[in-house]
Amino acid sequence: MKDVLALVEARLHSALGEPDARAAVTFLGTDRIEVLRFPGDGGNIVRYATLGMSAQPMTDPTAAFADPVAGPRAELILSVRAGLADTDKVLRPLAVLAASPQVEGVVVAPGASLDVGEPLWPDAPFSSVLVAESGGLVEDLELDEPMDPVRFLPLLPMTSNEAAWKRVHGAAELQERWLARGTDLRDPLRRSVPLD
C-alpha cells in the first residue's frame, strides 16, 4: 500500500509540480486520505488532488468478496480558478468523496455523479461533481500485475439542476451541453448551464 501511494504521489508531482499545502483526514474505519493543493498555470488555476484512495482497489458492492489486490484504483483531481472563492475549504468534501469506496462500497468511475450533500466550499453553487475520463491532466499510473492501473479522475462540479438533468439525460449529454455553451467548468462561481 505504501509503495502504491509513493508512486502515486511521485506521478502527481511530475504532472502538477510541488504542492504548496496538504491536509489529511481520517474517517472511522478507513485509511487516511490526504488532499494536496497544487498552484498551477501562473497562479490562475489551483488543483486539488486526493492521495490515499488508490491504496486499496475499489470493490463492486455486489461482489461476493473483496479482492485485496485486483480491482480499479483511482485518485480524484479538482481544478478551479484561483482567488474567486474560498475553494481551500473543498479539502474535507474531497476527502469524503475519496473515502466513499471504503465507506459506501461504491466504485468511482467516469460518468458517475458524487454528492457531498453540502456546498463544496462556502457559497459554492455545487454540492455534487461529475467524474470525467482519466488520462488528460495526469496520465494513468501502471502498477505491477495483477494490480489495475491508478486512474486520476477529474471532477467537474455540477449545480443541483445540472445533476438532476444528468440523471435523466446522462453524463455525455450534459458534457455536450457544457461544450456547446462554452461553459467554464473551472469557474467556482459559475451559474447552471441553460438546460431547456
73 near 31, Cβ under 8 Å? no
Amino acid at 174: L
What is the value of pTM for the model shown? 0.93
| pLDDT, the chain, mean | 91
CA distance 77 to 8: 13
* pLDDT, tens digit (0-9, with 9 covering 90-100), for 166-184: 999 999 999 999 999 999 9
Alpha helices (H) in 41-159, listed in sequence order: 91-104
| Cell 498555470 belongs to residue | 41
Mean of the pLDDT values across residues 12-34?
A: 89
Asked if the peptide bond before residue 125 counts as cis, ω within 30 degrees of 0, the response is no
Amino acid at 105: G
Angle between helices 160-169 and 171-180 in degrees, nearest 10: 120
Give 116-141 as a DSSP string. Answer: -SS-SSTT-S-SEEEE--SSSSS--B
* pLDDT, tens digit (0-9, with 9 covering 90-100), for 99-125: 999 888 889 999 999 999 999 999 999
